[in-house]
Amino acid sequence: MRQRKEEGGLNMTPMIDVVFQLIIFFIVTVAQQQKEVEMELRLAMAPDGKAVERKDPRTITVDVDTQGRVYIARQRLSLQMLQNILRGAVARHGQTLPVVIRADAGTRHEYVRRVMDVCSQAGLWKIKFAAIKERAK
Amino acid sequence: MARKRKSKEVPEAELPMTPMIDVVFQLLIYFIFTIKPLDVLAHLDVFRPGPEQRTERLEVPPNLVRIGIFYDGFTVNDKPVAESQLESLIRRLAELDRKQTVLIMCSAASPHEFLVRVLNLCAKYQLTNLSVISVN
């Protein structure tokens, strides 16, 4: 009888487990987000541009580096592959699918143009360009 | 009576908190030193006319402003303008009509930064009807 009463304390182990699970989750997701952004691109500044508040989950972000190489989620793609991806996405989500082109400030327009042409061919006329509104302090 | 109560008291369950607090502080210090704040991004919306729309638009230019972007500078309605003049010109255009179409023509060799600069000025003066075409 006495022993049973002693066991009535608050069991902290599950709470600590949950806290650690949360910490691990945040470590992994923050690191992933950082990686996604840190694709050696030097974006141009647009301090008066519209800040990205809520990103549409359907958004496709296409990166273009100074050499004209094209990436989605750090995965290098040929223009043909990009076209197939965009066509597939348009078939699923329609022509209102948001496309963001994130090109390096020094990228020649002809490389950006290729991506824009692929977007147009896939039926996407509205395009967004990513820029930096405010640099992190 | 007092003795009886004493014997029934439940001993408190003790959990050593010190190691947990140690670990939590280690994690906190780790985050303070490693987390880099992210830049605030902006999205600049443009309309990219298709080939058939492009010719249509060029043939019938109702209240159309053409901004040319080249590797060494800008033009407004085919007249070269210095970078310092560009903002005042765009501001004046916006004062006349914010709904007018601005056709931004980029040359192949122009850096993307120039296009962003023009789009930023258009966003600043609330010109929203922007089309980007590429010229050789």
> pLDDT tens across B18-37, in order?
888 888 888 888 888 877 77
**Please, which residues have CB within 8 angstroms of residue A102's CB and are 6 or more apart in sequence?**
A41, A43, A61, A62, A63, A64, A129, A130
- A:66-95 residues touching chain B, CB 8 A cutoff: none
Question: Residue B60: what pLDDT?
Answer: 46
Question: Residue B26: what pLDDT?
Answer: 84
> pTM of the entire structure?
0.74
A96, A59 contact by CB (below 8 A) = no
Question: Residue B50: what pLDDT?
Answer: 63
Question: Residue A1: what pLDDT?
Answer: 46
B111, B27 contact by CB (below 8 A) = no
**Paired sense of beta strands A126-134 and A99-103, if any:** parallel
Helix count and strand count (H, E) for chain B = 5, 6
Tell me the average pLDDT across B122-131: 91
**B71 backbone dihedrals φ, ψ, rounded to 5°:** -65, -20
Whether pLDDT at B40 is above 80: yes
Q: How far is A91 from chain B (nearest CA, A)?
A: 18
SS3 B15: coil
A76, A63 contact by CB (below 8 A) = no
> pLDDT tens across B69-126, in order?
999 999 998 899 988 889 999 999 889 888 888 999 999 999 999 999 999 999 999 9
Considering only CB atoms, A125 lies closest to which of B39, B50, B69, namely B50
Q: Report the Cα B134 to chain-centroid distance in Å.
A: 22
**B102 backbone dihedrals φ, ψ, rounded to 5°:** -110, 120
Tell me the average pLDDT across B5-21: 71
Kindly indicate the confidence band of residue B52, based on its pLDDT and cuts at 50, 70 and 90.
Answer: low
**A32 backbone dihedrals φ, ψ, rounded to 5°:** -65, -45
Below-50 pLDDT ranges, chain A: 1-3, 5
Determine the Cα–Cα distance for residues A94 and B132; give it in Å rounded to an integer.
22
Question: Residue B109: what pLDDT?
Answer: 93
Comparing B51 with A26, which gets the higher pLDDT? A26
Contact B42 A125 (CB under 8 A): no
Determine the Cα–Cα distance for residues B54 and B131; give it in Å rounded to an integer.
9
SS3 A71: strand
In the structure encoding, which two tokens stand for residue A81, read together? 């592959």
> pLDDT tens across A28-47, in order?
777 666 666 556 788 999 99
Name every chain A residue with its beta carbon within 8 A of the beta carbon of B72: none
Name every chain A residue with its beta carbon within 8 A of the beta carbon of B42: 46-52, 130-133
**B38 backbone dihedrals φ, ψ, rounded to 5°:** -85, 150
Kindly indicate the confidence band of residue B7, based on its pLDDT and cuts at 50, 70 and 90.
Answer: low
Considering only CB atoms, B111 lies closest to which of A50, A100, A108, namely A108
Question: Residue B48: what pLDDT?
Answer: 81
B101, B93 contact by CB (below 8 A) = no
A68: nearest CA partner in chain B? B112
Considering only CB atoms, B44 lies closest to which of A6, A119, A128, namely A128
Kindly indicate the confidence band of residue B14, based on its pLDDT and cuts at 50, 70 and 90.
Answer: confident
Interface test with B, best of A66, A129, A132, A135 (most B CBs within 10 A): A129
Determine the Cα–Cα distance for residues A95 and A122; give it in Å rounded to an integer.
9
SS3 B25: helix
What's the length of chain A?
137
Query: What's A39's DSSP letter?
Result: S
A55: nearest CA partner in chain B? B43
Angle, helices A79-93 vs A109-121, to 10°: value is 40
